[in-house]
Structure 1
Amino acid sequence: MNRPGILALLALVLVGCAGAPRRPALPADDLLLAQAAREAQLARHADWRLSGRIAVSDGRDGGSGQITWIQRGERYEITLNAPVSRRSWRLVGEPGHARLEGLDGGPFSSDSAEALLQEHLDWTVPLSDLAAWVRGIRAPGSASIRFADSGLPERMEQGGWSIDYRSFDQALDPPMPSRVFATRGERRVRLQVGDWSLAPGSP
């Protein structure tokens, strides 16, 4: 094809792209109503389970590994296995009590799971809030949300943390996050979920 023909073809492509209809964005109020409905739906799934990979860093040190998180109402069981360091631990607890098992000198107990992770693993993780964020919903307290074209959260700001949702598993009902990045300054939590399981909701 000669040069004039190529230029003409490019012009047609550009015109076609410019004229392609764009899906109109939903009004902000409608997006927030849809988010509230999604949060209400997930509230009926008090029992859930996820498995995947997690990486935590504070800008200097960090750790990563395979994670399994089982939530039964307010009781949780989180297991992490790090094949590289051959380190593994299990955190079990409920509001007001937590127990960290599998580390030298343990098990360790505290009324705060966050304090256990900070003291024995140097992990600064807002665990109670993370339980909401990993599901793409707001933790208690004020939060701002930016939505993607899909109508699902794209970024959430809460408690000084920025939570970015890189992808959702659209095959689930409701869709669940599959890649979640949470940052606060140099603190970072990166979660990639390979499998979600939601217990049936209450009638």
Structure 2
Amino acid sequence: MSLRFLAVAACAVLLVACTSRPVRSPLPPELLAAAEARQLAREQALRAQPDWGLQGRIAMSVDRNGGSGRVDWRQDGHAFTVELSAPVTRQGWRLSGGPGWAQLDGLDDGPRSGADASELLYDATGWLIPVEALGDWVRGLRAQAAGPAEVEYGADGRLQRLSQGGWQIDYSWPPVEAGGGMEADRGASVLPRRIDARREAVSGPQARVRLVVDHWNLSMEASAGAASR
């Protein structure tokens, strides 16, 4: 795996009031309204629990280049640390940051630091993708810093597709617990198990990232449980 791939994957993996425009849903109007109300309540509850983490697997492609690896993301309020490693090549890096600062480790010429994580990644790798957005997207939230969003809900009332900031994110969720219905998913089941994000650029490269979550940490599971009640 090249450093360029690692940097691009970093951007994608590091991938209130947002304007929302729900579109194309199989739900009738009354259920669509209920799904949107539930999503808004879920977002509010999850944002009130700012400490979380995940471990998982990532596959990334940019135009005809790509690769895969493992990701470990730890969030402590506004501060984050994201580690990506490729076991086969034994390559890896770490991006850490918070409001007004960021540091990228694992580069051949040593660590680099800057005031903005996105700009730091762009200066080091040539890629500029919003770092902040995926911290929300991976949890099934509309990103606060990415502008207006369009959302679609599935037949079970859960978020199925999110389009925001030039990206389209499709969601896969754990099965609904016995009993069915929108109110049946409790605890960790309200957390995505996979996202498939695509960037269709008018100019420049096209990008795709698939992130499979193997484990959400306990504090995140607890917050998700609170969000579904």
Structure 1 residue aligned with 2:13? none
Structure 1 residue aligned with 2:207? 187
1:155: how far off?
A: 0.4
1:115: how far off?
A: 2.8
Structure 2 residue aligned with 1:145? 151
Residue correspondences, number: 180
Give me the whole-angstrom Cα distance separating, in 1, the residues matched to 2:175 and 2:52: 15
Q: Return the match for 2:193 from 173, 178, 191.
A: 178
Give me the whole-angstrom Cα distance separating, in 2, the residues matched to 1:102 and 1:41: 35
1:174: how far off?
A: 5.9
Matching of residue 155 in structure 1 with residue 155 in structure 2? no
Deviating more after overlay: 52-61 vs 146-155: 52-61
Structure 1 residue aligned with 2:6? none
Deviations 1:39-81 (CA, angstroms, capped at 9, x unpaired): 1121121100000011222213334211000000000000111
Pairs within 5 Å for 1:130-141: 130-140=134-144, 141=147
Does the Cα contact within 8 Å between 2:173 and 2:189 map onto a contact in 1?
Answer: no
What's the C-alpha RMSD, in Å, of the aligned pairs? 2.3
Q: Return the match for 1:108 from 97, 108, 112.
A: 112
Give me the whole-angstrom Cα distance separating, in 1, the residues matched to 2:174 and 2:189: 10
Pairs within 5 Å for 1:37-56: 37-56=41-60
Q: Which has the higher strand share?
A: 1
Q: Residues 97, 75 of structure 1: CA spacing in aligned structure 2 closer, same or farther, 3 A cutoff?
A: same
Q: TM-score, normalised by structure 1?
A: 0.79
Structure 2 residue aligned with 1:10? none
Q: Which residue identity lines up with residue 193 of structure 1 in the other structure?
A: V
Structure 2 residue aligned with 1:98? 102
3-state DSSP of counterpart to 1:120: helix
Identity fraction in percent: 41
Uncovered stretches (5+) of structure 2, i.e. residues with no partner: 1-26, 177-185, 201-205
Q: Which residue identity lines up with residue 181 of structure 1 in the other structure?
A: D
Larger radius of gyration: 1
Deviations 1:134-174 (CA, angstroms, capped at 9, x unpaired): 00010123211111122111100111110000234756346
1:180: how far off?
A: 0.3
Give me the whole-angstrom Cα distance separating, in 1, the residues matched to 2:78 and 2:164: 21
Structure 1 residue aligned with 2:33? 29
1:89: how far off?
A: 0.7
